[in-house]
Amino acid sequence: MGKPHRKEAAANTVKSELLKHPPRQETLQQELEREARVEAHTNEQIAKLEDIVSNERRERADRRAKLKETGPVPAIKQALARGESK
């Protein structure tokens, strides 16, 4: 069986650690405010990513429309002249 002094030493260690670093005591209001800040930040990040995706789609649609107007050969020649490649 476990030796009593080891259990007591372990309990004392836990107690001393809790005294050094007490658990964070948040009021319900503080917790709700923190969650609201996290949610707002997350929503900002989502909005930024949605803008990026929207811009990429718009650029692709513009390139497709231009390609339909000019045809593939002139577009390829222009890309090669600019030094672009797939």
Could you read off the pLDDT of 9-39 as tens digits, one per residue?
Answer: 888 888 888 788 776 777 888 889 999 999 9
Question: What residue spans define the domains of the chain?
Answer: 28-86
- Indicate if the pLDDT at residue 40 is higher than 90: yes
Instruction: Report d(CA 21, CA 27) in Å as an integer.
Output: 18
Answer yes or no: are the C-beta atoms of 26 and 34 closer than 8 Å: yes
In this predicted model, what pLDDT tens digit does every residue of 42-62 receive, in sequence order? 999 999 999 999 999 999 999
- Indicate if the pLDDT at residue 2 is higher than 60: no
| pLDDT for res 83 | 77
The distance of Cα 29 from the centroid of its chain, to the nearest Å, equals 25
Answer yes or no: are the C-beta atoms of 75 and 85 closer than 8 Å: no
- Band of pLDDT at residue 80, cut at 50, 70 and 90: confident
| pLDDT for res 43 | 97
Instruction: Report d(CA 24, CA 29) in Å as an integer.
Output: 14
Which single residue is written with the structure tokens 């709700």? 32
- Indicate if the pLDDT at residue 70 is higher than 90: no
